[in-house]
Amino acid sequence: MAYQIDLKTFTDERGHLTVIEKVIPFDVKRIFYIYGVDGSIRGGHRHHQTIQAAICLKGSCAIYNQDGISERVFELNSPDQCLILEPKDWHQMFDFSEDAILMVLASEYFDSTDYIYEPYFIYDRLRELAASQ
């Protein structure tokens, strides 16, 4: 399951300095960022291999996550919060504030064959079974 880590931040009268050093559980091979989102839902996939670290540098957004066993919505609204997404974590990013900038660090270079777009249907089936009892 995805999990949040706090990034070390130094604050004084001049402002804030946040450091990403020795806390990301992988070597970074790719960095991308999402901004100017028009209300759309982004993501909607998981991976075979890629681990990701998501940091909302400005504004806020929410990330829905399910791993086939549990589900959770993470709120990212501070540049000192980092959400680690394991390859098994099917996720969607949504509810972007108008000024949101979501930066993602990835453990692998882009490879279209690494993406799995189907959510965990077994999780949905288990929920249906539990509701019928």
Which residues, in sequence order, are CB contacts of 106 under 8 Å at separation 6+? 28, 29, 30, 31, 32, 50, 51, 52
Question: 61, 33 in Cβ contact below 8 A?
Answer: no
Active-site residue, 48 included: no
CA 31 to chain centre: 13
CA dist., res. 31 & res. 133, Å (int): 46
- Under the phi-then-psi rule, with left for phi > 0, alpha for psi from -120 to 50, and beta for the rest, what region is 71? beta
Catalytic pick from 16, 45, 48, 91? 45
Catalytic residue numbers?
45
